[in-house]
Amino acid sequence: MMDVVVVGGGIGGSSVGKALAVAGLDVLILERETEFFDRVRGEWIAPWGVVELKALDMYDTLLQAGGHHITRHIGYDELIDPAVAEANVFPLGVLDVPGPLTIEHVKMQNAALNSAIEAGVTVLRGVNKVQVTPGGSPEVSYLHNGKQNSVACRLVIGADGRTSAVRRQIGLKLVEDPIDHLISGLLVGNAHGWPEDLQAIGKVGDIQYLIFPQGDGKVRLYVDYDISGRNRFSGETGAAKFLAAFDMDCVPNSAAIANATPLGPCRSNPSQDAWIDEPWVDGVVLIGDSAGYNDPILGQGVSVTARDARMVAELLTQTTNWSSDLFEPYGTERKERLRRLRMVARYTTTIRARFGPKAEATRSRAMQRQTADPELGTIQLAPFIGPEAIDEKYFEQEFQDKLFA
């Protein structure tokens, strides 16, 4: 019998599996993919998430795999003169971290899973038809290399992503916010004209753009846009249209982005929040996107997942009593963490990812109010230093009403 079976070998499953194996537990990871592929997400890790990766002993692993720190932020925007934006450059070094960490998703997954294997985790890839039976004596059945297998364990950890089969099998359902915009992403190369230490985020016309360099001329780009244009960046011409959107007069050096070379798929995903207040049942606990996720407009996915993995691993290694109430501290902290991040996502969507005359008027008014009273923009710090690091008053609706009324 195994101590823990982890379903999903991404950054969350690999991190929690490694931590438990280092503590002396027998861990099996079941991963569906025989090779990871570009999922067009999960490549910007906030400073608070980097702190979590350090606690999981994953930080050096990702650096060696190609991790790159961004140290400056400039909010180039259609409502701000470029010279004014540059005069308000924001240094990103906080929490003893140089700044956000960027790395290709595939490189991150491969490095994390290999690190788990080196720590003693047993990993099976190409696993299908996973079936989890929760309870006091949980069991996992699966198909591998054409053979049906079954393994008993003390605990199952579901780390199998947004469409989690484990979540469905144990009867937990997500609460989902409505979808009103999409986020599209593309990895590009040969963008050497863009400063490798600089990220930029802003709104221009009918998009919110995000530019995150990864070093050596590679940049991960994102665009938020209205759901009414859902096919805007799809098809054979999607990547070309996507890059053309980055030819922006108010963003210096944007030509380096617009003329870059696509290195991966151009894909769009819903930009929404989804959550579960209590992501566990007897014998099974969920982490990462399986347990609910923050709107990708904030780029918090890896950071949220890393904290989930760290908290669950710590709880499991502090006691041998793995009753379901063990996860109450994890559930309580995660519930508030995602609530606060939802508030930040709604703020960010309102100020940069709503479109049309009424939205533009609201946005212009809000930016003027923030200039007059910088405290109204304090909530923007949460995605960098962590949602718990900001006073709770900034996450109340009344405070946001002062900005957007």
Whether 40 has a pLDDT exceeding 90, the answer reads: no
Residue among 121, 122, 14, 124 nearest 61 (CA) = 14
- What does the pLDDT read at residue 382? 96
- What does the pLDDT read at residue 160? 97
Averaged over 281-298, what is the pLDDT?
Answer: 97
Which residues are 209's β-sheet partners? 202, 223
Lookup: tokens for 260: 């870059």
3-state secondary structure the chain: CEEEEEECCCHHHHHHHHHHHHCCCCEEEEECCCCCCCCCCCCEECHHHHHHHHHCCCHHHHHHCCCEECCEEECCECCECHHHHHHCCEECCECCECCCEECCHHHHHHHHHHHHHHCCCEEEECCEEEEEECCCCCEEEEEECCEEEEEEEEEEEECCCCCCHHHHHCCCCCEECCCCEEEEEEEEECCCCCCCCEEEEEEECCEEEEEEEEECCEEEEEEEEEHHHCCCCCCCCHHHHHHHCCCCCCCCCHHHHHCCEECCCCEEEECCCEECCCCEECCEEECHHHHEECCHHHCCHHHHHHHHHHHHHHHHHCCCCCCHHHHHHHHHHHHHHHHHHHHHHHHHHHHHCCCCHHHHHHHHHHHHHHHHCHHHHHHHHHHHHCHHHCCHHHHCHHHHHHHHC
Domains of the chain, with CATH numbers?
Answer: 2-63+103-177+272-339 (3.50.50.60), 71-95+179-270 (3.30.9.100), 349-404 (no CATH)
Lookup: tokens for 306: 């890393």
CA atoms within 13 A on the CB side of 119: 27
Whether 305 has a pLDDT exceeding 90, the answer reads: yes
Confidence of residue 41 (pLDDT cuts 50, 70, 90): confident
Query: Minimum mean pLDDT among 138-142, 289-293, 359-363: which range?
Result: 359-363
Lookup: tokens for 238: 């999607």
Averaged over 285-302, what is the pLDDT?
Answer: 96
Burial class (CB in 10 A: 0-12, 13-18, 19+), 3: middle
Q: Do 298 and 209 meet the contact criterion of CB atoms below 8 Å apart?
A: no
CA 197 to the chain's CA centroid: 20
- What does the pLDDT read at residue 256? 96
Whether 164 has a pLDDT exceeding 90, the answer reads: yes
Confidence of residue 113 (pLDDT cuts 50, 70, 90): very high
Confidence of residue 38 (pLDDT cuts 50, 70, 90): confident
- What does the pLDDT read at residue 230? 86
Confidence of residue 229 (pLDDT cuts 50, 70, 90): confident
**Cα distance between residue 54 and residue 261, in whole Å:** 33
Averaged over 201-227, what is the pLDDT?
Answer: 95
Average pLDDT, the chain: 95
Residues in the chain: 405
Averaged over 129-137, what is the pLDDT?
Answer: 96
Averaged over 20-29, what is the pLDDT?
Answer: 98
78 versus 39: which is more confidently predicted? 78
Confidence of residue 401 (pLDDT cuts 50, 70, 90): confident
- What does the pLDDT read at residue 153? 98
- What does the pLDDT read at residue 400? 83
Query: Minimum mean pLDDT among 21-30, 264-273, 277-286: which range?
Result: 264-273
Range 189-192, long-range pairs (CB < 8 A, 24+ positions): 189/217, 189/218, 189/219, 189/260, 189/261, 189/263, 190/217, 190/260, 190/261, 191/217, 191/218, 191/219, 191/256, 191/257, 191/260, 192/217, 192/256
> Per residue in 165-200, pLDDT tens?
999 999 999 999 999 899 999 999 999 999 999 999
pTM metric for this prediction: 0.95
CA angle 280, 170, 160 (to 5 degrees): 75
